[in-house]
A and B are shown apart, each in its own frame.
Chain A
Amino acid sequence: MMYEAQRALASPVRNPRMATVIGRLLGAAFLVCFGTGLYSHFLQEPQDWMRFATRPEYLYQVTQGTHIIAGIACFPLLLAKLYIVFPDLFAYPPLQGFVHFLERASIALFVGASLVQITIGLLNTYQWYPWPFPFRQVHFALGWVLIGLLVIHIGVKLPIIARYWSKSSGSGDDSGDDDHLVDAVSADRASHAEAVRLSGASRPGGVTGRVLDYIDATPQVTSRVSRRGFLTTVGVATTAVVGLTAGQTFTPLNAVNLFAPRKKGVGQQGVPVNRTSEQAKVADAAMASSWTLTLAVSGTERSFTRAELLALPQTEVRLPIACVEGWSQMANWRGVRLRDLAEMMNAAPETAFRLISLEQRGSFSKTQMGSEYVRDPLTLVALELNGETLDLEHGYPARMIAPGRPGVLQTKWLSRIEAIS
């Protein structure tokens, strides 16, 4: 029965060479997602010893845009990989001892966790959370689990991967002979006809027999057409899902941005918004005339009204706001260099700062900024955006903007900036 299921599933694309070809693309996408994900994670939760590059100023736009693009590319690639190895599900006997059990269990977990990881990642970009667990923590933990499972998988399959890595090493070999994957040739109707003849049955009996007979009566597409068609399909599908969404971060594709959750230029002052003043419950405090920005360095405190900040030397910078959700938007910002304010307060050059928002709750209402960003001449306490007074939704009266940092760390509705001793 299991053999018959495997035979029914046989197809010219279900061979170890194809599994290797698609598998290494998928593996590369996983590694890219993991690397860029780790970078984003440590930007948000740095260890004390960590220092980050502030140039190029679009660094985070690229790394996080890539994270989302590679994650979206995983949908067609993962489905293609699962299509190729689907007959393995019906391996018979189902279990051949404890090691085989562990291998199959690791594959099951790998498949399930991969599907969950890319699904919750995609839905997070829509800000839709229909699951009963916290996104950020689970996405991060699953990232480690998946990389572990990927390394195990590569270890387990290494002989197959090595043998089918290049086309010349018996790859296109149609017998596709492998313990785990069904070869295409055995699916040939001739072999079935022979089996029927040998078993002496003229008509198949039972439901299974009839189903398999129906399948066997199906015209086969030739191997080469199947394989070319399959690879073309995977290529076109991957190009489509990436090409039709990447415009949210990659400007040349903006015109064909059909399905991304963000659109460049859509938002107050031409910049999309993530957390609103309503969500943050800051509107009253932000619009109050009594608002001041307080700087605190080693016991000394000084408060600035917005007018006082505007009276200080102003700098204009062109920096992208790049969100952890993968979208980004270039904008012109104008305000006071944080470095100037730090010098005014006699802060030592190596000082890191804590940025505190008017927002009372929320995971990013208090964040840290390493000294490399504080010293950077592009880092501003921004007061204007694209030539206008900063919109409330963009952090009025004042917000941070620094090169190469995730949007959640570009603290809006600033209230207090203090040196970390």
Chain B
Amino acid sequence: MTRPDADGSGHETSRLGMRAHKNAVGPNPGDGSTERVGNGLNPPPAGITPSSGRRMRNIRLVLVGGGVLLMAWGALVMFDSVRPARIPGVALWIAAAIVLHDGIVAPIVLAGGIALRRAGRRITGTVVVIVQSGIVVGSIVSLIAVPTLVAKNFAPANPTVLPLNYGLNLGIFWVVLAAVTVGLSVWAFLRGRHPAETFPDDSGR
């Protein structure tokens, strides 16, 4: 089984390997399943012996046990320093964080990714990924910048807290990001139109 170039070092051999790999999957699922069995049932790689398996188990037990102790200490600190009436608030925030991420943010990200890929089905995969990256980077920077706008509305304790014009800065950031994203996309698109310069696996579908 060939190994895709996970770190992006992009040497010629891995490009060729990638092509072979593409041919191997899909039409011939047997290849993948062989690999799966190979990883799952065959003797483990050199260096793993029954005794090192025991060692692994012992390390895991120590880690889990130690982790439970640390957690218990944290719970003790919590109950010792926070009034009991306030603790449900902590639990509520933790539960809300899970719901907010798993129930709202993650599905939106998923839907956005799919919509973008469908919208861009005629352009190369590289361009789609560049646009996706631009949107994600902008969203994450906005995630830490937008609270400054909200907090500033609550009249900060003094003028040296949140002194910048965060709205303007965020606008500038988005404009620069959009320009860079468009520039890179055009570059990737033009490169994609000249097959001689294209990576075999960059063409998308």
Contacts and interface: CB of A to CB of B under 8 A. Distances in A.
Nearest to B1: A173
B140 interface: yes
Contacts of B40: 177
Interface stretch (A184-192, A311-319, A406-414): A184-192
B71 A137 contact: no
Interface in B53-79: 56, 59-64, 66-75, 77-78
A138 B137 CA distance: 30
A403 interface: no
Contacts of A174: 1, 3-4, 21, 25, 32
B129 A133 contact: no
B87 interface: yes
A175 B72 CA distance: 39
Nearest to B162: A261
Interface string A245-271: 100000000000111111100111000
A152 B71 contact: yes
A224 B97 contact: no
Contact of B157 (A127, A225, A244): A127
Given A112-B98, A149-B71, A137 B148 contact: no
Contacts of B157: 127, 275-276, 279
A225 B129 contact: yes
B147 A128 contact: yes
Contacts of A214: 114
Contacts of A170: 39, 45
Nearest to A144: B74
B6 A227 contact: yes
A233 B137 contact: yes
Interface residues of A, number: 107
B145 A259 contact: yes
B93 A131 contact: yes
B97 A119 contact: yes
Interface residues of B, number: 99
B82 A122 contact: no
B141 A148 contact: no
Contacts of A76: 140
Interface in A38-60: none
Contact of A190 (B26, B93, B109): B26
A236 B184 CA distance: 14
A143 B70 CA distance: 10
B106 A113 contact: no
B196 interface: no
A145 B172 CA distance: 39
B89 A148 contact: no
A393 interface: yes
A45 to B, nearest CB: 10
A224 B94 contact: no
B139 to A, nearest CB: 9
A79 interface: yes
Contact of A152 (B22, B63, B102, B160): B63
Given A133-B89, A152-B67, A159-B56, A228 B8 contact: yes
Contact of B67 (A127, A155, A171, A276): A155
Interface in A165-220: 167, 169-175, 177, 183, 185-186, 188-191, 194, 214-215, 217-220
A167 B5 CA distance: 10
A275 B158 CA distance: 8
A95 interface: no
Interface in A295-334: none
B26 A131 contact: no
Contacts of B74: 141-148
A24 to B, nearest CB: 15
A135 to B, nearest CB: 10
B204 interface: yes
Given A109-B94, A175-B1, A138 B67 contact: no
B164 interface: yes
Interface in B126-152: 126, 128-130, 132-133, 136-137, 140-141, 143-145, 147-148, 150-151
Nearest to A86: B106
Given A113-B94, A128-B154, A144 B70 contact: yes
B50 interface: no
A218 B128 CA distance: 12
B134 to A, nearest CB: 9
Contacts of A154: 63, 67
Nearest to A245: B144
Interface string B147-174: 1101100101111111110100110110
Contacts of B98: 108, 111-112, 115
A401 interface: no
Given A115-B98, A115-B101, 16 more contacts: A123-B147, A128-B147, A140-B81, A145-B71, A150-B67, A155-B59, A172-B3, A172-B5, A177-B36, A190-B29, A191-B29, A218-B114, A222-B204, A229-B129, A232-B8, A237-B141
29 contacts: A72-B144, A112-B97, A112-B98, A116-B94, A119-B97, A128-B151, A132-B89, A133-B82, A134-B82, A141-B78, A145-B75, A146-B74, A159-B56, A169-B45, A172-B4, A174-B1, A175-B36, A183-B32, A219-B117, A222-B204, A225-B126, A258-B166, A259-B141, A259-B148, A259-B164, A259-B169, A275-B157, A276-B158, A279-B157
